[in-house]
Amino acid sequence: MTRLFTPKRSIPRSVEISVGTAVAGSALLTWCLLSYLQLVSGAFLPRPDEVWTAFVNVLSNGSLFEHMQVSLAEIYIGFFLSSIIAVPLGIFMGSYRIVAAAIEPLVNFMRYLPVTALIPLLILWIGIGIEQKIAVIFLGTFFQQIVLCADVSANVSDDLYKVSYTLGVNRRQVITRVMLPATLPGVMDTLRVTMGWAWTFLVVAELVAASAGLGYMILQAMRGLHPATIFVGIFTIGILGLLTDLVFKMAKRWLLPWTAVH
Amino acid sequence: MGQVSIRNVALHFTSRRVGTVTALQNLSLEIPDKQFAVIVGPSGCGKSSLLHLVAGLTEVSAGGCYVDDDFITEPGADRGMVFQNYSLFPWLTVKKNVEFGLSIQNMSADQRTQRAQHYIHAVGLNGFEDAYSSQLSGGMQQRAAIARALANDPQVLLMDEPFGALDSQTRTIMQELLLRIWEREQKTVLFVTHDIDEALFLGDVVYVMSGRPGTIVDSVEVTLERPRHYEMVTSPEFIELKRRIMVNLHREVEQAMMQNQAL
């Protein structure tokens, strides 16, 4: 018993599973009680079976799939474009004083600017199509990724560079032989964290102005007073986020075997 | 060949907080080929800095360091180094770490494997070829770091308190291991430590450094016969040499401490 409440002590696997199930189960139970006993009006809180019906409905008429496709395209394109530029730039900014001197002032200004403040301007410039969502995700993640990757690369031990020089590595080789592999675990963490933020920016952008996407689907359901469909949209976003996170975890185990062993 | 010459070297650091600090001054040292040279000195005397100069990782402010009369301007594979902190590449296995320098030279995979295996065997890490550094103890990591430096076949091996972070039993074993390898490899070694026992047990000559600004104040020829065994540290000859270095070092440490208080 005392073991369960000692900081950082491991607990039996069975306890771990049962407390997790109990908390999730009671949340579900509370939902059922509130909706089936009509403690909360059905106009605000749909019953689980209504959500299921709504889910089957949007699934069979193909609209869920369409909206999901649009959202996924927006988020992956925006995130990919941002990452391929921000990651190398951030790594160089953390390791080369000259790069830091050049871009740090601008990056520090931009990173404190909430991307949501830019949405009206982006609508004005680009419109409300998929390009605008990509721009929001790009601008939202880009500067954060630079700063986080710069931090990762600034923390690489100087000894690793020194030892590689004494083993015959030159200034060009040190990038591929030391800098990149040494920063890879931290970069993977950065990508995983910023992917989570990208989902937030996406949904905000779609709620403000869109003609398709999961955020748009939720907004339309609200306008049509159909809370069950809102729930379907929220669950879908949650599950897609969970799956993305799982992919990152698996990629880490596969790409970075040395971080998994102890 | 691997004759190391350090001629009238000075090293200054400039920092905003304390201005210019002279770490080394008027330091000259001639280390003949294949000598095991040990440098002892009070902490902060610049003995690590001296090693960095020979490695080419830091530039001299005056004077020069030479290997076989070639002026050292930058790091190179002819001067291998082992650091105090475990500096294995964590993303590479032991085998890949040992092969690192060889792969830079574009040696064929077969040859690399053969050489790496030879040195992994020499440091007693058989069976750990595929382990990552996070799976190894501190002593094993240093064994791998030594194998990595040696596999590159440098003319000079620079060792910056490589056993400083190890417990004393492991340290003794590592010292004996290093001597066995050195007796076979016959390389010039420049070894920095603050441990007098370690210096005498390993070295042909022990150079005593002064406190800052660091310079050489004494050189002690170690007359103990080779191959050395750990019981030698209790022999009268060893004790006599140790007394001589201690007296010197004690004075330098005291002066260094007084200097630090004055700052």
- Kindly state whether B19 is in contact with chain A, defined as any CB-CB distance less than 8 angstroms: no
> The tokens of A202 are what?
């996406």
Q: Is the Cβ–Cβ distance between B144 and B96 less than 8 Å?
A: no
A50-64 pLDDT, tens digit each? 999 999 999 999 999
d(CA B124, CA A191): 40
DSSP string, chain A: -GGGGSTT----HHHHHHHHHHHHHHHHHHHHHHHHTTSS-TTTS--HHHHHHHHHHHHHTSHHHHHHHHHHHHHHHHHHHHHHHHHHHHHHHHH-HHHHHHHHHHHHHHHTS-GGGGHHHHHHHH-SSHHHHHHHHHHHHHHHHHHHHHHHHHTS-HHHHHHHHHTT--TTHHIIIIIHHHHHHHHHHHHHHHHHHHHHHHHHHHHHS-SSSHHHHHHHHHHTT-HHHHHHHHHHHHHHHHHHHHHHHHHHHHH-GGGT--
Q: Search chain A and give the residue with CA nearest B74.
A: A165
3-state secondary structure of B86: coil
- Mean per-residue pLDDT for B180-193? 92
Given pLDDT bands bounded at 50, 70 and 90, which one contains residue A261? Answer: low
Strands across the sheet containing B19-31: B19-31, B4-15, B62-67, B70-71
Q: Residue B17: its pLDDT value, please?
A: 82
Q: Is residue B181 part of a domain?
A: no
Q: Residue A210: its pLDDT value, please?
A: 84
Average pLDDT taken over every residue of chain A: 92
* Contact flag B85-A159 (C-beta cutoff 8 Å): yes
Q: Search chain A and give the residue with CA nearest B133.
A: A258
Given pLDDT bands bounded at 50, 70 and 90, which one contains residue B233? Answer: confident
Q: Residue A29: its pLDDT value, please?
A: 95
Specify whether B126 is located in the same domain as B196: no
B residues 183-242 closer than 8 Å to A (CB): none
Nearest to A165 among B57, B85, B148 (CB): B57
Query: Looking at the predicted complex, does its ipTM rise above 0.95?
Result: no
Percentage of chain B beyond pLDDT 70 is 98
Q: What is the CATH number of the domain that holds B52?
A: 3.40.50.300
* Contact flag A168-B104 (C-beta cutoff 8 Å): yes
- Kindly state whether B89 is in contact with chain A, defined as any CB-CB distance less than 8 angstroms: yes
- Mean per-residue pLDDT for B65-81? 91
Specify whether B237 is located in the same domain as B163: yes
Q: Search chain B and give the residue with CA nearest A179.
A: B89
Q: Is residue A179 part of a domain?
A: yes
Given pLDDT bands bounded at 50, 70 and 90, which one contains residue B186? Answer: confident
Name the residue with higher pLDDT: A23 or A3: A23
Which of B57, B97, B112 should be substituted to probe chain A, the one whose Cβ sees the most A Cβ atoms within 10 Å?
A: B57
- Kindly state whether B148 is in contact with chain A, defined as any CB-CB distance less than 8 angstroms: yes
Closest CA–CA distance from residue B104 to any residue of chain A (Å): 7
Specify whether B144 is located in the same domain as B226: no
> The tokens of B94 are what?
């032991």
Q: Residue B16: its pLDDT value, please?
A: 83
Q: What is the CATH number of the domain that holds A249?
A: 1.10.3720.10
Q: Residue B1: its pLDDT value, please?
A: 79
3-state secondary structure of B43: coil
Q: Is residue B232 part of a domain?
A: yes
Q: Residue A143: its pLDDT value, please?
A: 95
Q: Which residues constitute the domain of residue B18?
A: 1-78+158-171+188-263
Strand partners, B193: B40
B97-118 pLDDT, tens digit each? 999 999 998 889 999 999 999 9
Q: Residue A56: its pLDDT value, please?
A: 95
Q: What residue type is assigned to position A204 of the chain?
A: V
**Residue B263: pLDDT above 60?**
no
> The tokens of B202 are what?
């390993």
Specify whether B165 is located in the same domain as B225: yes
Q: Is residue A247 part of a domain?
A: yes
- Mean per-residue pLDDT for B68-91? 91
Residue partners of B178: CB distance under 8 A and separation at least 6 = B146, B202
d(CA B197, CA B172): 10
Peptide bond into B213 cis (omega under 30): yes
Q: Search chain B and give the residue with CA nearest A173.
A: B104
Specify whether B45 is located in the same domain as B165: yes
Q: Is residue B182 part of a domain?
A: no
Question: Of the candidates B33, B99, B27, which has an alpha carbon nearest to the alpha carbon of residue B64?
Answer: B27
- Mean per-residue pLDDT for B237-254? 88
- Mean per-residue pLDDT for A65-77? 94
H or E element, residue B151: helix B138-151
Given pLDDT bands bounded at 50, 70 and 90, which one contains residue A225? Answer: confident
Q: Is residue A148 part of a domain?
A: yes
pTM: 0.86
Q: Is residue A27 part of a domain?
A: no
Name the residue with higher pLDDT: A210 or A228: A228
d(CA A254, CA B45): 46
Nearest to B79 among A157, A166, A258 (CB): A166
**Residue A262: pLDDT above 90?**
no
Q: Residue A81: its pLDDT value, please?
A: 97
d(CA B109, CA B114): 9
Q: What residue type is assigned to position B37 of the chain?
A: A
Q: Is residue B20 part of a domain?
A: yes
- Kindly state whether A254 is in contact with chain B, defined as any CB-CB distance less than 8 angstroms: no
Nearest to B134 among A159, A173, A258 (CB): A258
> The tokens of B235 are what?
């022999």
The count of domains in chain B is: 2
Specify whether B142 is located in the same domain as B263: no
Q: Residue B202: its pLDDT value, please?
A: 94
The count of domains in chain A is: 1
Q: Which residues constitute the domain of residue A117?
A: 55-259
Q: Is the Cβ–Cβ distance between B71 and B60 less than 8 Å?
A: no
Q: Is residue A103 part of a domain?
A: yes
**CA B12 from chain center: how many Å?**
22
Specify whether B99 is located in the same domain as B56: no
Given pLDDT bands bounded at 50, 70 and 90, which one contains residue B44? Answer: confident
Specify whether B20 is located in the same domain as B55: yes
**Residue B22: pLDDT above 90?**
no
Given pLDDT bands bounded at 50, 70 and 90, which one contains residue B251? Answer: confident
Closest CA–CA distance from residue B128 to any residue of chain A (Å): 14
Task: Name chain A contacts of B55, Cβ cutoff 8 Å.
Answer: 162, 165-166
d(CA B38, CA B196): 10
